[in-house]
A and B are shown apart, each in its own frame.
Chain A
């Protein structure tokens, strides 16, 4: 049974929080005597709703905040909340939706959001590209920090498996949330500058053209952004559980690396927490 009264109350409440207080709702409310009016109570509800939905985005989108400034980030979050079709309970999903929202801003909204950036350092299009890159970097770093290490094999077990006589047939795999990312912006320096809240707001670019970066969580669940050597790049591009170590060693020979060097590189990546599984079956 639908209750028209409940439907109306709740729709008015929703509209009042996402836009401005509706007169019908204000007329319905009898405030406790300590409140001046109904609007004062609605502000409490709005504050709490945002505190537990969109406010956590402030702590996830650190790199974006560093780049465009506190006020611009708040403005974006406010707009995201006002236009929101719903706020997922899961902060990862919320962060994903906000990342998509940033990527879909119109050119004018992008210009507005980056208006406080120093345009003597960056061109307008560079500023917009950097803004989207910062948002995606934040989102990915949040994502990797949420991974379930417990479902993966621990480092000691992996190193033991690597010693086994038939280890050549194992298939290294990175964590599901780990990403290799190709970018013309030096994501490692970009991330470091944002983490250090550097006053130098220039965007670091890769001097020799786009490079591959690794975004993963270390053994302590902390996000790590680093660039990759060519050897690591070649190897990790195939660490998806489909290639055996024998196959990886074979490939590496084309780049002048011995079997021992490849196995040593795998060991190093296991210790670093990048390779999290050595599957013995092709799934």
Chain B
């Protein structure tokens, strides 16, 4: 039986609760690894599933595997289609699906991104950055409050990788995020690779960047591999999730664990997915980093 961890939100919503121990490691479920995961059922603390796949895949093999696996493992729910920063109305049906899934999986939390990815019925399938200023903060606060009310619990939002900034932004990424978490009671799903990737692309110090994020706001980590591409004016790291986690990102993860404490950590590998045993090696590496915290931090 896993220890129950409860985290209280500043809103009047029911507390964010998860049946996962804080020092736990998991793997994302995707079309590319579903067969192997389904057949092998390796030991994992949790898997991450996308509610969008339940909408997209009404039948067929993948859906059957997804349903079997989500009942075999502990799960966390991670969306890419909420588009919380979009100017179009929130998709109420989607949020109700998330609410139902959370009821079905009491161990789960739901996360999405500090971004927008669709406009009305147009889906860009990418996480597009927002103008970081007070006007957007106010807009996001209203939207997040609505989403949390429908779902019935606080949500986690992930910092994104971005290759551009806007001239009208008046805040740094984490100043923007701090304002939003303070006003909504939502939490941060910290993608360590995205911090590193953005910092390197914009020639900043990733350690200085993480020092600006509120310590209490982080409730989960993502790790993934970005890829070095040569663009018109030089090298750029693009967040393709198609290779192993970079050593510099592991080091930054260690720094994050020291600053924000251990939280469920997910390995994402969604493109050029290797054999399952290779991705499991990366999950084991997460466990190695979490080992000093195992059993010591439970609430």
Contacts and interface: CB of A to CB of B under 8 A. Distances in A.
Contacts of B136: 3, 5-6
A40 interface: yes
A89 B56 contact: yes
Interface string A201-220: 00000000000000000000
Nearest to B120: A86
Which DSSP category, helix, strand, loop or mixed, fits chain B's interface? mixed
B87 A7 contact: yes
A90 B55 contact: yes
Given A3-B87, A5-B131, A146-B60, A30 B166 contact: yes
A129 interface: no
B200 to A, nearest CB: 9
B139 A3 contact: yes
A98 interface: no
A36 B231 contact: yes
Interface in A1-57: 1-3, 5-7, 9-11, 13-14, 17-18, 27-38, 40-41, 44-45, 48-49, 51-53
Contacts of B275: none
A216 to B, nearest CB: 14
B232 A40 contact: yes
A163 to B, nearest CB: 28
A84 to B, nearest CB: 7
B166 A28 contact: yes
B124 A49 contact: yes
B35 interface: no
Interface string B123-154: 11110101101011011001000000000000
Of the listed residues A6, A27, A45, A86, the one surrounded by the most CB atoms of chain B closer than 10 A to its CB is: A6
Given A5-B135, A14-B119, A34-B235, A221 B60 contact: yes
A86 B139 contact: no
A10 B125 contact: no
Interface string B217-260: 00000000000000111111010000000000000000000000
Contact of A29 (B122, B133, B166, B234): B166
B163 A48 contact: no
A150 interface: yes
A220 B123 CA distance: 32
Nearest to A49: B124
B164 A32 contact: yes
A91 interface: yes
Contacts of A52: 123, 125
Interface string A117-156: 0000000000000000000000000000111111100000
B125 A49 contact: yes
B81 interface: yes
A32 B120 CA distance: 28
B124 A31 contact: no
Contacts of B64: 150
A148 B59 contact: yes
B167 A27 contact: yes
Given A32-B163, A40-B231, A86-B120, A53 B203 contact: no
Contacts of B133: 5
Contacts of A38: 164
B87 A10 contact: yes
A89 B136 CA distance: 26
9 contacts: A3-B136, A5-B133, A5-B168, A6-B139, A32-B164, A35-B163, A92-B58, A146-B60, A148-B60
Interface of B: 52, 55-56, 58-61, 63-64, 81, 85-87, 116, 119-126, 128, 130-131, 133, 135-136, 138-139, 142, 163-168, 201-203, 231-236, 238
Interface of A: 1-3, 5-7, 9-11, 13-14, 17-18, 27-38, 40-41, 44-45, 48-49, 51-53, 84-92, 145-151, 221
Q: Which 7 A-B pairs have the closest CB atoms?
A: A86-B121, A36-B232, A148-B59, A52-B125, A34-B236, A32-B201, A34-B234
